[in-house]
Each structure stands twice: as structure tokens, then as C-alpha cells.
Amino acid sequence: MKILDRYILKSFISTLLTVFAILYFIFILQGVWLFISELAGKDLDLLVVVKFLLFYSPKMVPLVLPLSVLLASIMTFGSFAENYEFAAMKASGISLKRAMRPLSIFIFVLAGVSFWFANDVIPKAEYKFLNLRKEIIQTKPAMAIAAGQFNDLGQVNIKVDSKTGDKGEYLDNVTMHVKSNSGYENKTVIRSVNGELETEESSSILKLHLFDGNYYDDVAAKNYEEQKKHPFIKTYFTKYTMNIDLSSFQNEGKDEEKITNTYGMLNIKELNYTIDSLQKALNTEMTSNADNLTLRLGNLLSVDKNNALKTSPVDTDSISSIVRDSLQKVEAAKYVDKAGKDILKGFSYDNQSRILQSAVDYTNNISFNAESNDLSILNQVKRINDHWLALYEKFVIAFSCFLMFYIGAPLGAIIRKGGIGLPIVFAVGIFITYHFINTFGKKMAQEDGITPFLGGWIGSLVLTPLAIYLTYKATKDNGDVNFSISLDTFKDLFASVKGRFNRKKEKYNKKQL
């Protein structure tokens, strides 16, 4: 490897590692903020907190790595241009394309590592992360109760002065307020000298054993005079056991999508197998729905099932069309035409009303079932789309390394500015645009508005022409970076606006005087 190649690689890699470390730390702090309610006041060991953040952090790489590559590219090549190092390379006969060659090889290797990381490391970390969150509640019941404050656990408000034991299962000076069925009143108070928590890993029920305490229960007064005396029943106990359901507590503050998104725990092989299984299940349900409609509508509907089943497994247009045609025919049956009137003439008025009402009820029942079937199919389509998006994301992260490098490197030569000032502005602006387009595309694909392929790749497809154009301009004419875009234009524009503002300010001040 030549000295110049080593110098360029050293400059870029050192900048990349520094930027990646800073951004990664910022995103991890964001994760701490998101899960602060699960970590604070729980008496968690330091090792548990470290494991929690360690398992959470890999999912930040798809966000941090492309931004780091973009920013490092702009800073490195901007510094080369600012310090006239590109001019020295050109004087020595070395083009910008030749200078980018070692970094292109490095980015290729980095893209391969990022693909492996997204396919193997992130799914395993996601699995361990979600299981650790569940384990904190189920295997450590004391995590549900923080000492020195009231803790709301469904129908119970509980406060303890202190907790002891390896898992904090032993409680001292327990005070409990039990809510009424309406949930607005606390008519029952339980106090005990100490208590003990008990639970099983496979159960969401927390058993609370209270020892040496009293049970106070308000009594509903029959009249106002008795009510002023505040009657209550006091019962002493040596041991009292209470079951508390923690299922709602476990789900509190959690994003339901994150808890159920098993597709985030799968690699490419597992995703392909799961998608195939879901496609088959969807085909089966669509066939069943078509058969059910045919059976229920009878002679009112003539369905070409073969044509319906030739559609794409995730294309519900044909089934929806069948449903709409069926409902139109059934709705038409509600109106009594001449033939219908002739048939109904043979029945009494009461029987005619019952027959018509039965027809309306039958029609409404078919309509409800059709809408329910459509909704069920749509939910399965969304689930399949989520799996396709997870599959494409593993390739997108690798491609984004190339994309951001071939945008950042020529852009650094354009702005001719190194450091952390102007490069950050350009990098953040480009990355926010890229991230926004990707997020919008994924949401559209999840709702079946666009295909999962387009939803997963839309950000890259939009910015790829920009990368090609900038790279072409930067490498043509043996590296002669002579762009019409110049910061002087923006500086002149800013100075003009500032001067006009100052003149208007002076005129306003003179008028005030």
C-alpha cells in the first residue's frame, strides 16, 4: 500500500471512528430516556443495566452508521480541499478518482460487515433485549414496587418503607389501598408489619404475603347520622395472602409493536421461511372466505373462484371486488320488485314483515362478516409486509454505506470545508431527508399503500441519482473539481439580506426620533 493510500485511509477511519462513537453515545442516551421508567427506582444491579443497554444498542447501528459515513466523508474530503491537499495530488498527477480508490475498497468491506451485523447480531440482541425486559418483571417481583413511594398496581396502591433480600422480596411496614370496583374510591386499607413477595416465571400473578397486620374496611352508612361517625370494620390477621395481576403493569409504557415484532429477531433465512408460511396461511384464509361467501349467498352470487385464486397472495382487490358485488346483489334483494310482491302476496301482513326483516338481518350479517374478513386479511397483509421490510432493511444498511460515501466525498470537495461546523449542517440535512423518506416509505408499505420493496428502498432510490451526479462531477477531467456551486454565493446572499435589514432598521430608528 502506498503512502498516500495509507494517509487517506488513516484520515478517514480515524474521523469515522470518532464520529461513530459520539453519535452512538447520543443515540444510547436517547434509549436510556425512552426506558427510564423501567430502569429508575427499581434497585437494579449495575450489571443488569449494562446488559439492558448492551442488548438495546445494536439496533441503533442502522441509524448511526450511515450518518457517520456521510459526516466522515464530508469532513475528510472537505479538509483535503481546504488545506489544498487535492491541489497537491493533482500537481503530482493523482486524480480524485484515484484518491477515492482505497476508501471505496474500505467502504465495500464495511458494507459487508454491516450486512453481517444486521443479519446475525441485531436479531439475537433484539431477542435477548425483549426477554430481559420481561425477566426484570417476572423473575424479580420486587422490581414492580419501589420503596418509599406509592406504587399503582392495577386495583392496588402499595407503599413499603424498605426492601431486603437477594431479590428485594422482603418488605417492611407495608401500607395498601385497595380500590373499589368502580376504581374511584379506596374503601379498603391494609397495614402490616412486614411482607413477602412470591412469583413464578411462567405466571404474571404476584403473590403478596402480609404478616402481623390489620384490615380496615369502610362500612356503607344507612343514613346521614351514621355516616358522620365514619364506621369501619377492623380485622386483625397473622398472615394474609393477596394475588396481584402484573400483566397490565408489564405492558405499561411499552410500544406494543416492539413487543410483538418477532420479525426483528429473525435473520434472512428465517424471514424467508416465515414469509412463505404467512403467504400460505393468507391463501388458505382467502379461499375459505370465498367459499363461505359462495355458500351463504347461494344463487344470488356466481363466483369464478379459479380467477379469484390466481391473484397475488397479498392482493385483496379480487376478494374485495367479489364482496362488493355480492353485497350489491344482496342489497338489491331488500327492495321488493314486482316478482317479490307477487310472492309476498301469499303471506299475511305480519309474515311479510317478518320475512323482510329476516332478509335485512341476513344481509347485515353477510355485510358484517365480509367486512371482518377484509379486515383480517388486511392485518395479515400488514404482517407480511413487516417481514418483507425487515428483510430488505438488512440489504439497505449495506447499500447506505456506499450511498452516503459517494454523496459525502464529492460534497466535501464542493464545500471545501473541514472540521465540525459546516459539514455537520450538510450531513444532518441530507441524512434527515434520507431518514424521513425511508420512514414515510416504510409506513406506506406497512399499510399496504406501496409495495414493501419500494417502501424499504425508497430513500436509497431517491438519493442514488444525487450520489451518481456528485461522483461524476468530482471525478471528471482527472479530478478537476471546478463546480459552479460556491459558498461565496450564499455568503453574498446573506450579506445582501443582512444589509437590507440594517438599512430598514436605521430608517425605522430615524422615524422614531
Is the residue at 461 inside a domain? yes
Q: Please state, in angstroms and rounded to a whole number, the distance separating the CA atoms of residues 30 and 24.
A: 10
Cα–Cα distances (Å) from 455 to 296, 308, 439, 444, in that order, read 38, 26, 8, 7
Parent domain of 234: 143-198+205-245
Is the residue at 250 inside a domain? no
Predicted pLDDT at 369:
76
Predicted pLDDT at 255:
42
Examine the domain organization and report whether 162 and 229 are in the same domain.
yes
328, 355, 388 — which closes off a domain?
388
Is the residue at 505 inside a domain? no
Cell of 42: 427499581
Give pairs for 375-383: CB < 8 Å, separation 24+: 376/285, 377/282, 377/285, 377/286, 377/289, 377/316, 377/319, 378/316, 378/448, 380/278, 380/281, 380/282, 380/285, 381/282, 381/314, 381/316, 381/448, 382/446, 382/447, 382/448, 383/278
Question: Rg (Cα) of the chain, in Å, rounded?
Answer: 34
Give pairs for 92-97: CB < 8 Å, separation 24+: 94/4, 94/479, 95/475, 95/478, 95/479, 96/413, 96/474, 96/475, 96/479, 96/481, 97/475, 97/479
Cell of 324: 362488493
Predicted pLDDT at 462:
92
Is the residue at 75 inside a domain? yes
Q: Three-state SS for 232?
A: strand
Cα-Cα-Cα-Cα torsion 291, 297, 302, 306, nearest 10 degrees, comes to -10
Examine the domain organization and report whether 16 and 132 are in the same domain.
yes
Q: Is 63's pLDDT higher than 50?
A: yes
Q: Please state, in angstroms and rounded to a whole number, the distance separating the CA atoms of residues 180 and 177.
A: 10
- Give the percent of the chain with pLDDT over 70: 70
330-341: pLDDT as tens digits: 444 444 444 455
Q: Is 308's pLDDT higher than 50?
A: no
Considering only residues 91 and 499, tell me which one the structure prediction assigns the higher pLDDT: 91
Considering only residues 168 and 458, tell me which one the structure prediction assigns the higher pLDDT: 458
| DSSP codes, 180-197 | -TTSS-EEEEEEEEEEEE
Examine the domain organization and report whether 47 and 127 are in the same domain.
yes
Q: Please state, in angstroms and rounded to a whole number, the distance separating the CA atoms of residues 513 and 510.
A: 5
Residue 329 — very low, low, confident or very high, per pLDDT cuts 50/70/90? very low
129-143: pLDDT as tens digits: 877 877 665 555 556
Q: Three-state SS for 488?
A: helix
Examine the domain organization and report whether 455 and 364 are in the same domain.
no
Cα–Cα distances (Å) from 360 to 335, 354, 367, 369, 407, in that order, read 10, 10, 10, 14, 63
Is the residue at 513 inside a domain? no
147-189: pLDDT as tens digits: 778 777 767 888 888 888 776 778 889 988 887 665 455 678 8
Examine the domain organization and report whether 128 and 7 are in the same domain.
yes
Cell of 136: 426484570
Examine the domain organization and report whether 7 and 133 are in the same domain.
yes
231-244: pLDDT as tens digits: 778 888 888 888 87
Lateral strand order in the sheet of 232-245: 151-153, 156-164, 170-179, 186-198, 205-218, 232-245
Is the residue at 504 inside a domain? no
How many domains does the chain fold into?
3
Examine the domain organization and report whether 159 and 184 are in the same domain.
yes
Predicted pLDDT at 254:
44
Examine the domain organization and report whether 281 and 360 are in the same domain.
yes
In 116-231, where do the E strands start and end? 151-153, 156-164, 170-179, 186-198, 205-218
Go through the chain and tell me how many residues it has. Answer: 513
What is the crossing angle of helices 349-415 and 268-297, to 10°?
160
Examine the domain organization and report whether 108 and 48 are in the same domain.
yes
**Is the dihedral angle over the CA atoms 379, 380, 386, 388 positive or is it negative?**
negative
Examine the domain organization and report whether 219 and 293 are in the same domain.
no
Considering only residues 464 and 332, tell me which one the structure prediction assigns the higher pLDDT: 464
Q: Is 197's pLDDT higher than 70?
A: yes
Is the residue at 344 inside a domain? yes
Cell of 439: 420512514
Examine the domain organization and report whether 370 and 355 are in the same domain.
yes
Examine the domain organization and report whether 166 and 219 are in the same domain.
yes
| pTM of full prediction above 0.85 | no
Q: Please state, in angstroms and rounded to a whole number, the distance separating the CA atoms of residues 304 and 427.
A: 56
Is the residue at 212 inside a domain? yes
